[in-house]
Structure formats: C-alpha cells, structure tokens
C-alpha cells in the first residue's frame, strides 16, 4: 500500500482492473462513494456545488452528487464543463446517474449561495494550463472563501510532476483514489491539497504491484525486515564501527553525527581528527573513541581496519584552505576502500563544487550522499523537474544513493527506485539536524542494513524523534528521542530479540 503512482500508472491500473473483469462503472461508483462519504465527514449538511469535467473525474463527481443528494438536508447543484448530452462513454453513463439540473460550468456560474465546492473537473490527467473561464470562476470562489474538496487532485495540478497551473484552486480536503500520486507527497504542492484522505476502489494490490512502480512512501514496513536487531552472541564489533571525520573548526557537527551513530546502535564509533582537535573530541563523550591522523597514509591505515565498515565524512569538515585539502583527500580515500560504506555530508559538497566529476568517479552504489538543496546544487547544478525527478537524476548521475533533504526528503537509488518521506516536520529546520541524520544513517548501515534501507530508516526515525519532542527542538533533542521512537515502533522486541 506504499506505492506512489504517476498519472500514467494510475491509468494503467484502471485499465488493468477493467480488463480483469471489474466494469468501469463499478470503479466510478466506488470512487464516488468514497468521495461522498468524505464530504459528509468534512462538512455538515449544506449547499454543495459539484464542478464536473468531461472525463472520469467528472464522472466520479456526477455519481457522488446523486449519492449526496439522497441524504437529508444536503442541497446539491451540479455544473459541467461541457453540455451533458455531449459526454461520451463512461462519463456519459455516469452523468445519467445525476437526476437534477446540470448547469453550465463557466465564469458566469453563480456561487454566492454556495457553502461548499467539490472540484471534480480535471483529475490526474491534467497537464498544461487552465481555461481562462475556469480561472475566472476559481477567482470568484477564492474571493468568497468557499471551502473546497478536491476529487483525487485539485484541478490545475499535474499529478506526476507536481506543476501547478496559474489559477489552480486550493483544496481544504483532497480525497485520493486508490493510491497517492506523486504530486500528493511533494512539499511544493502541500499548500494546495489540504488534508489528504484515501478512498478505496476495487483495484487489487496485485494489479498495483504489477505496474512495477519504483516510487514509494517511506514507512517502517519497507525497512523493518532488514532492521539490525543484535544477535544473542553480538559484541561491539559485530555491530559495526563508524569512523567519523573530525574537522578543525565546527567540531560540534562531527560530535552530533558520532553521537547519533551511537544511538542508532553502532557498536563502535570513533572520530578521526588532527592532533590539535583531539582534546575537544575526547571530552565530548567518554564512549566515543578518538584517533589522530596527520598524513594521508595514517588516514588510510585507520580505514584499512577490517572492523571499520562505515566512514562518515563532511560534517564540520572545513571548506577552505588546508582544511578543504585535507577533507578532499580523506573523502577520496574513504570512497576508494572496497566494500566499505561511506556517508557524505556537509562540507564535502562545497569542497567538490568545482570538480564534481572527480567525486562522481569515486562513488558507488554503497555510498550515500545527504545534501540539502543548497549543497545539492553545488555538485549537481540546476537539474530540471520536481524534487523527486531531480533526486532520481542525481542518483543515476552519481551512481550513489542520494538523500535530498527537506520537508519532503527524497531517498533515491541509482536504479531509479525512490522513496518520499512524508512524516517530515518544519521544526527540523535548525542547525545540526542534518549532522544527526547522517549519523543515524551511518549507524544503521554499520550494523548490516543495506545502505538504501539504512537511509530510509534514518530519515523516518529522524523525523519521528523530532515530532516526539515537539517545538523548540535542537539537534541534540533528536538524539535523545531516538530510543523512545524505536520503543514506540518496536515495543519490547528491541530488548527481547
């Protein structure tokens, strides 16, 4: 149930259901019933105006309007974008269900005696721009602040790209049919969707799975099967060793990342730094080890330790002068170690800003990049498309896992698989939270989770721990709440396994 579909995939699913014996009118009736039920939950009986298009979205609207009109105290009007007698196919059949008058859907449609608008004009097949007549009508609705319920998606929104046409009507509630579409999970569209409510239609899960979609919504069910519960015979090195690069100036970044790797469950976490910073890092936490390196060969020696299976490089690493040279050297050496996972964050992206190809040439599918939007642009430039499209393109280009951070964090793999995180919160927009995320991902990967799954787990738990704490969040608060987040998710399993 975690697939996120494009408009084309949703159309294929509809066609597959019909081909397997589910008549189109049954699909339309189910969607309409879900829409009508959601409207009843959303509002008290009132004066409702259904805006219906000429396609399947309009068909859902016609049938839902008739269903709602049979309920006590609901006063229902319907307006259609074309003459009702010109409708064809399934839309024509559905429109026959409506027993009332059908008004003309144009800029002159009266809305002054309307308490609720149902937007069933275009649906997921929309691309391009809205007709001027419709924009004028939508302006009238906006001016009167009439609440809006959208059927599947607001008219004017591209379900696949998330592009929003000028004049698109914002919904207070969007009733999603079957599965979320890509536009439903992007932060850029959030202000147009209102609350999302899923309505079931008779399309089998197997038919959805057969689409071979490669985009999913992040959920523990995706990564819990590979979660690293320690075995009874476990010891610290079987639970992995994360080596964190310790920079010369903003030392708190590496400290936060290292601490997060610990609470993720890594058996050993060390900070590799210059002699001048040893005291700072040694005093942060007694359970963190500190290793000094002064030459490239000494750094390689630390990496060659077979017990060190993950390197986390970048937080507070230094992006200018000798610090940048040192960080660049350390990054390339870590990426050259066969079989080891590397998590790259922070200053790494600045250091390679003018030479991204060198970084890309050293990356592999076991490596994880964790940029925010600014860092992303430094090494990938101005890629076109939605956030999802850009993250997927970047992962292919870099041949590595990309975690493009933000409210709608996208985790993308080189093969095109992508997962969108939907439990994000704006309270994460504070210093150090990205360092904590990098540490969590590194800690899970060190314990044997496949790197992509480690990325999914880290992103979801990072946001969940922030939500547990609430506002006035600092990066440290996430670390302190990870254990509670895991307890809520796993119950006693984490202690009894």
Residues 345 and 254 placed together within one structural domain of the fold: yes
pLDDT tens digits for 344-355? 999 999 999 999
Residues 203 and 244 placed together within one structural domain of the fold: no
> Is 102 inside any structural domain?
yes
DSSP string over 233-254: T--TTTT-EEEEE--SS-HHHH
294: domain CATH number? 3.40.1190.20
pTM here is 0.95
Q: Which two tokens stand for residue 496?
A: 């009894």
Using the structure block, give the residue that is written with the tokens 């903003």: 250
Determine how β-strand 418-420 pairs with β-strand 173-177.
Answer: unpaired
Residues 302 and 159 placed together within one structural domain of the fold: no
Residues 200 and 238 placed together within one structural domain of the fold: no
pLDDT at residue 492 is higher than 70 = no
Identify the CA nearest to 465 among candidates 444, 447, 480. Answer: 480
Using the structure block, give the residue that is written with the tokens 């219906």: 52
**Neighbouring residues of 43: CB distance < 8 A, sequence distance ≥ 6:** 115, 116, 147
pLDDT tens digits for 27-54? 999 999 999 999 999 999 999 999 999 9
Average pLDDT over every residue of 276-300: 94
Number of folded domains in the chain?
2
Neighbours of 92 (CB within 10 A): 15
**Neighbouring residues of 491: CB distance < 8 A, sequence distance ≥ 6:** none
pLDDT tens digits for 362-388? 999 999 999 999 999 999 999 999 999
Average pLDDT over every residue of 425-441: 97
Final residue belonging to a domain, choices 211, 229, 262 = 211
> Is 413 inside any structural domain?
yes
> Is 97 inside any structural domain?
yes
Q: What Rg, from alpha-carbon coordinates, does the chain have?
A: 26
Q: What is the distance between the alpha carbons of residues 34 and 16, in angstroms, rounded to a whole number?
A: 21
Residues 228 and 255 placed together within one structural domain of the fold: yes
pLDDT tens digits for 399-432? 999 999 999 999 999 999 999 999 999 999 999 9
Q: Which two tokens stand for residue 274?
A: 């210059």
> Is 1 inside any structural domain?
no
The partner residues of 104 in beta bridges, in order of sequence, read 80
99: domain CATH number? 3.40.50.10260
**Neighbouring residues of 38: CB distance < 8 A, sequence distance ≥ 6:** 149, 173, 175, 197, 199
Residues 426 and 370 placed together within one structural domain of the fold: yes
Average pLDDT over every residue of 207-212: 95
The rounded mean pLDDT for the chain is: 96
Tell me the CB-side half-sphere exposure of residue 362, using CA atoms within 13 A: 20
* Predicted confidence band of residue 491 (pLDDT cuts 50, 70, 90): confident
Residues 377 and 322 placed together within one structural domain of the fold: yes
Q: Which helix (H) or strand (E) segment is 282 a member of?
A: helix 278-284
Q: What is the distance between the alpha carbons of residues 349 and 351, in angstroms, rounded to a whole number?
A: 6
Residues 53 and 189 placed together within one structural domain of the fold: yes
Give the domain range for residue 57: 7-211
The partner residues of 404 in beta bridges, in order of sequence, read 410
Q: What is the distance between the alpha carbons of residues 437 and 460, in angstroms, rounded to a whole number?
A: 10
pLDDT tens digits for 250-286? 999 999 999 999 999 999 999 999 999 999 999 999 9
Q: What is the distance between the alpha carbons of residues 395 and 404, in angstroms, rounded to a whole number?
A: 10
| Alpha helices (H) in 321-432, listed in sequence order | 321-335, 348-351, 356-362, 373-380, 387-398
Using the structure block, give the residue that is written with the tokens 């069910």: 221
* Predicted confidence band of residue 494 (pLDDT cuts 50, 70, 90): low
The pLDDT assigned to 495 comes to: 56
Residues 433 and 332 placed together within one structural domain of the fold: yes
The partner residues of 174 in beta bridges, in order of sequence, read 150, 196
The pLDDT assigned to 493 comes to: 62
pLDDT tens digits for 96-122? 999 999 999 999 999 999 999 999 999
Average pLDDT over every residue of 226-248: 93
The pLDDT assigned to 345 comes to: 98
Residues 200 and 225 placed together within one structural domain of the fold: no
pLDDT at residue 1 is higher than 90 = no
Average pLDDT over every residue of 229-251: 93
Q: What is the distance between the alpha carbons of residues 60 and 405, in angstroms, rounded to a whole number?
A: 36
Q: Which helix (H) or strand (E) segment is 31 a member of?
A: helix 24-42
Residue 463 and residue 425 in contact, taking contact as beta carbons nearer than 8 Å: yes
Final residue belonging to a domain, choices 166, 183, 211 = 211
**Neighbouring residues of 432: CB distance < 8 A, sequence distance ≥ 6:** 252, 253, 256, 474, 475, 476
> Is 393 inside any structural domain?
yes
Residue 136 and residue 46 in contact, taking contact as beta carbons nearer than 8 Å: no
> Is 294 inside any structural domain?
yes
Residues 105 and 249 placed together within one structural domain of the fold: no
Residue 24 and residue 18 in contact, taking contact as beta carbons nearer than 8 Å: yes
Q: Quick one: CA torsion of 424, 460, 410, 125, rounded to 10 degrees?
A: -70
The pLDDT assigned to 221 comes to: 96
DSSP string over 43-78: S-S-EEEEEE-SSHHHHHHHHHHHHHHTSTT-EEEE
> Is 348 inside any structural domain?
yes
Residue 82 and residue 14 in contact, taking contact as beta carbons nearer than 8 Å: no
Average pLDDT over every residue of 321-339: 95
Q: What is the distance between the alpha carbons of residues 71 and 485, in angstroms, rounded to a whole number?
A: 44
Q: What is the distance between the alpha carbons of residues 193 and 171, in angstroms, rounded to a whole number?
A: 5
CB burial of 444-463 (b: ≥16 within 10 Å; e: otherwise) equals bbbbebbbbbbbbbbbbbbb
The pLDDT assigned to 29 comes to: 97
| Alpha helices (H) in 293-372, listed in sequence order | 296-304, 321-335, 348-351, 356-362
The 3-state DSSP class for residue 86 equals helix
Final residue belonging to a domain, choices 169, 194, 211 = 211
> Is 2 inside any structural domain?
no
The pLDDT assigned to 497 comes to: 53
pLDDT tens digits for 144-201? 999 999 999 999 999 999 999 999 999 999 999 999 999 999 999 999 999 999 999 9
DSSP string over 170-209: PPSEEEEESS-BGGGG-GGGHHHH-EEEEE--S--HHHHH
Residues 353 and 491 placed together within one structural domain of the fold: yes
Average pLDDT over every residue of 66-84: 97
């Amino acid at each position: 149930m975690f697939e996120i579909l494009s408009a084309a995939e949703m159309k294929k699913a509809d066609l597959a259901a019909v081909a397997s014996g589910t008549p189109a009118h049954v699909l339309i009736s189910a969607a309409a019933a879900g829409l009508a039920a959601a409207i009843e939950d959303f509002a008290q009986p009132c004066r409702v105006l259904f805006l219906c298009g000429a396609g399947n979205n309009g068909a859902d609207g016609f049938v839902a309007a008739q269903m709602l009109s049979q309920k006590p105290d609901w006063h229902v009007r319907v307006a259609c974008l074309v003459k009702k007698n010109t409708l064809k196919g399934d839309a024509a059949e559905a429109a026959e269900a409506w027993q009332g008058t059908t008004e003309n859907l144009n800029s002159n449609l009266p809305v002054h005696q309307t308490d609720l608008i149902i937007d069933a004009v275009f649906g997921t097949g929309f691309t391009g721009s809205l007709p001027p007549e419709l924009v004028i009508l939508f302006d009238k609705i906006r001016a009167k602040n009439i609440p809006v319920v959208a059927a599947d998606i607001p008219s004017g929104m591209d379900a696949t790209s998330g592009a929003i046409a000028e004049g698109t009507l914002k919904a207070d509630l969007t009733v999603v049919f079957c599965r979320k579409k890509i536009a439903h999970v992007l932060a850029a569209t959030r202000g147009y969707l209102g609350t999302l409510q899923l309505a079931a239609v008779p399309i089998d899960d197997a038919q959805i799975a057969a689409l071979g979609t490669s985009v999913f919504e992040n959920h523990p069910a995706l990564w819990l099967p590979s979660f690293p519960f320690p075995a009874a015979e476990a010891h610290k090195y079987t639970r992995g060793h994360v080596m964190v690069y310790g920079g010369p100036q903003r030392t708190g970044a590496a400290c936060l990342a290292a601490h997060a790797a610990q609470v993720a469950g890594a058996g050993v976490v060390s900070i590799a730094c210059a002699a001048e910073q040893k005291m700072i890092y040694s005093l942060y936490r007694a359970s963190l080890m500190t290793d000094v390196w002064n030459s490239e060969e000494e750094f390689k020696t630390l990496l060659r330790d077979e017990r060190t299976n993950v390197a986390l490089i970048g937080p507070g690493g230094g992006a200018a002068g000798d610090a940048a040279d040192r960080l660049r050297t350390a990054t390339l050496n870590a990426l050259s170690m066969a079989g080891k996972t590397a998590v790259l964050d922070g200053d790494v992206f600045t250091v390679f800003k003018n030479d991204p190809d060198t970084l890309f040439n050293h990356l592999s599918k076991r490596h994880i990049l964790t940029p925010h939007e600014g860092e992303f642009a430094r090494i990938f430039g101005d890629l076109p498309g939605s956030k999802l499209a850009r993250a997927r393109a970047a992962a292919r280009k870099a041949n590595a896992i990309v975690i493009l951070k933000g409210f709608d964090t996208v985790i993308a793999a080189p093969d095109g698989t992508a997962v969108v995180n939907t439990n994000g919160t704006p309270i994460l927009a504070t210093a150090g939270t990205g360092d904590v995320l990098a540490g969590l991902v590194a800690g899970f990967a060190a314990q044997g989770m496949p790197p992509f799954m480690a990325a999914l787990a880290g992103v979801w738990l990072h946001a969940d721990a922030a939500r547990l704490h609430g506002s006035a969040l600092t990066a440290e608060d996430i670390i302190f709440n990870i254990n509670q987040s895991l307890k809520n998710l796993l119950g006693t399993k984490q202690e009894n396994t």
